[in-house]
A and B are shown apart, each in its own frame.
Chain A
Amino acid sequence: MPSPPHAPLRADPLTRGLGLFSAALGVPQVLRPAEVARALGVGDAPRHRTATVVVGVRELVAAAGLLGRPHPAWLWARVGGDAMDLTLMGRALRHHDGRGLQRTVLSTAALAVVTAVDVHAALTRSNRKETRRPMELTSTTTVTRPPEEVYAFWRQLDRLPTFMAHLDEVRDTGGGRSRWKASAPFGKSVEWDAETTADVPGERIAWRSLDGADVPNNGEVLFLPAPGGRGTEVHVALNYRIPGGAVGKAVARWFGEEPSQQLDDDLRRFKQVMETGEVVRSDGAPRGKQAREEFPQHPAHPLTDDERAEALA
């Protein structure tokens, strides 16, 4: 799905206001850099004038973006520009010769206020929908076994951790309820209770976490007969509400947790278990379901006894 247009930003007074503000600063900075630099109390040496023109051009670009094609990225660009300006003003303050010092201090204070407004605007206008929307993951595979058999394997929840990388343990606690334990980024682990919300033998299983889960989630697996008698299409859809919203997701990705790839790999291992009996190990990826965490891998030669014990643990 293409990213949603940010039509609301076009009518957003704060976004428009910041766009006009950028334009109002940029025009004199580009046309009259010497006067602007003097007004800021930073002197009008050629390097000061050059810096002022550069900042002015940046302001005009931001203005064009905010007024012409509004997008949260332009608000974040303004925040970046503010950081740059604060650095420049900080340097001007440190190396100040005393003339017009008061004007420089006042300009810096004004800049700090503008920065605060920009940060507020960027935070509140970014991905307003996405932060509230749970992370949706889908993946699918085809297994050369009849739907009844594939369903029956998945239905035994305690087997899920044999192929799902993040799951440490799933226990059936009776009455359609289960206790889940999973590893989370930064070596943490999360636990939650879940209830089965749909269970149609040979066709469909769905569940959702109960109140109080650290990472509220729900999921569904469909088992559809593949055309031409080729077995079963397994369609998985998971929804997670990651703490920290978009920022939490970005941080998780930065640390190598690509959720959609994880789910694809989980299903690949599910297929291996269904079709060959277990997760296939190699010398390079001896730990089965943790294969993705291991690049660069163990060299493709046999493990020592210690390495083997650890890999099979």
Chain B
Amino acid sequence: MKANCWISPNTVEVTEVPDPSILNSRDAIVRITSTAICGSDLHLLDGYVPTMQKGDIMGHEFMGEVVEVGPGVDRDKLRVGDRVVVPFPIGCGACAACLADLWSCCENTNPNAGLAEKMFGHPTAGIYGYSHLTGGFAGGQAEYARVVLADVNPLKIESDLTDEQVLFLSDILPTGFMGADMCDIHDGDVVAVWGAGPVGQFAMDSARVLGAAHVIAIDDVPYRLEMAASQGYTTIDYSDTDVRSRLLELTGGRGPDKCIDAVGMEATHGAAHVQLYDRAKQAVRAETDRPHALRQAITSCRSGGIVSVIGVYGGFIDKFPAGAWMNRSITLRTGQCHVQRYMRPLLERIERGEIDPTRIITHRLPLSEAPHGYDVFKHKQDHCEKVVLTP
């Protein structure tokens, strides 16, 4: 089959690889009908995530039709012919983390847990197409994929919604929603979202759905800010505006009640010297992540507010504003998305028309043009917001 594989930093290639097969008894094989490029795939492309190997299949947002199930799959849950969306973190549904609805912290699905434990203190779940640190599972930017523990993870789509309406249930819609959910939004809350990429857009939509009075988008890419503005959100372009002052202005000096970091480890900063400082430290491995958005969210948030982090961090940061965080009673909430917790309720919101996930799609390409998709997405060319690939 054809698959989009990581070759080296900044290079992905669509190549011929063997078809997937059943390795565990509860596996299923899915013929992929739609898949997408995620902002976090760019961290892999850019070489910021360790343990990538030449030939690793990329992609953790995919859906399709079940074409084979292993002998251990519970047939009441999944059968050949089912149409499914596959969540990016692999859960087992039986460990303490999964039982507590913390699926991305599953204790059983990362065969390289020993490695992850050294990096993070405790291991985290296996993830499709996301380095060997998260298990070395082949990704979904391919014609077929092996789905692990297939009777607890995939979401069956039984209505006639299109692929584009439900594909993002695999990652970015639940991720954006969890960003807003962790904010514990009350009536009248002002929510600021750093990053107007796909996840940021969905965090804004979710904040509004959950009752925010006012949503503010912070980015420096004009077309992404326009996309947010078109939904009625206030925008701040950090390349020409001092973010903290503007946020104070917009909130009567209080600061946003809730802040969402939808940027993560490769943030850029409006001030060149600050950007250079972190870029240099990252280059010499004195820090692995550039935390501008997180720093700004913590210092801008009102006292007693919540900072919700859904942008991906991988290692260590420098100059964490611990003083602001501690002295002003700020709550920090975090996590790779527990997709399985949110899939079904979000599917219902899509069915009810409360959220339209298709609004962010700007590019539809065949799988064979995946490298071009990465290119326009990474360099924000051609007003690229979200690339959907079809095999």
Contacts and interface: CB of A to CB of B under 8 A. Distances in A.
Which size bracket describes the interface of B in this complex? 35 or more
Nearest to A277: B72
B111 A284 contact: yes
Nearest to A283: B138
B94 A297 contact: no
Nearest to B144: A302
Contacts of B95: 144, 271, 275
Interface string B46-61: 0000000111110000
A121 to B, nearest CB: 38
B24 A302 contact: no
B335 interface: no
B108 A276 contact: yes
Contacts of B20: 283, 302
Q: How large is the interface on A (under 10, 10 to 19, 20 to 34, 35 or more residues)?
A: 35 or more
A256 interface: no
**Contact residues of B: prevailing secondary structure:** loop
Contact of A144 (B56, B94, B132, B149): B94
A219 interface: no
B109 A280 contact: yes
Interface in A149-194: none
B389 to A, nearest CB: 17
Contact of B23 (A144, A268, A301, A308): A308
Contact of B138 (A142, A280, A301, A311): A301
Contacts of A265: 113-114
Given A275-B92, A299-B54, A301-B57, A282 B21 contact: no
A300 B21 contact: no
A230 interface: yes
Contacts of A303: 18, 21, 23
Given A276-B108, A281-B111, A291-B112, A308 B21 contact: yes
Contacts of B18: 301-305
B53 A296 contact: yes
Nearest to A278: B24
Contacts of A283: 20, 23, 57, 136-138, 146
A197 interface: no
B154 interface: no
Given A280-B126, A291-B111, A308-B21, A285 B54 contact: no
Nearest to B139: A300
Contacts of A312: 23
B3 A276 contact: no
Contact of A276 (B5, B94, B110, B138): B94
Contacts of A300: 53, 55-57, 129, 132, 136-139
B305 interface: no
B96 interface: yes
Nearest to B93: A276
Interface string A257-288: 00001001100100110011111111111101
Nearest to B92: A276
Contacts of B23: 281-283, 286, 303, 308, 311-312
A235 interface: no
Contact of A297 (B53, B99, B108, B110): B53
B135 interface: yes
A301 B112 contact: no
B26 interface: yes
B242 interface: no
B96 A284 contact: no
Contacts of A28: none
Contacts of A271: 95, 107-108
A299 B55 contact: yes
A109 B109 CA distance: 63
B5 A301 contact: yes
A253 interface: no
Contacts of A285: 111-112, 132, 135-136
Nearest to A141: B107
Interface string B112-143: 11100000000100100100100111110000
A292 interface: yes
B148 interface: yes
Contacts of A272: 92, 108
Contacts of A278: 24-26, 72
A302 B95 CA distance: 27
A276 B53 contact: no
B19 interface: yes
Contact of A280 (B96, B132, B148): B148
A309 B149 CA distance: 21
B28 to A, nearest CB: 14
Chain A CB within 10 Å, residue with most, of B96, B136, B148:
B136
Contacts of A304: 18
A81 interface: no
A297 B110 CA distance: 14
Interface of B: 3, 5, 17-21, 23-26, 53-57, 72, 92, 94-96, 99, 107-114, 123, 126, 129, 132, 135-139, 146, 148-149
30 contacts: A230-B96, A265-B114, A271-B108, A275-B92, A276-B26, A276-B92, A276-B108, A276-B149, A278-B72, A279-B111, A280-B110, A280-B149, A282-B23, A282-B112, A282-B138, A282-B148, A284-B56, A284-B111, A285-B135, A292-B114, A295-B132, A297-B136, A299-B55, A300-B56, A301-B3, A302-B18, A302-B21, A303-B21, A303-B23, A305-B18
Question: Which 7 A-B pairs give the minimum distances between C-beta atoms?
Answer: A284-B136, A299-B55, A285-B111, A300-B56, A275-B94, A302-B20, A301-B17
Given A297-B53, A300-B139, 6 more contacts: A144-B94, A271-B95, A272-B108, A283-B146, A301-B57, A302-B18
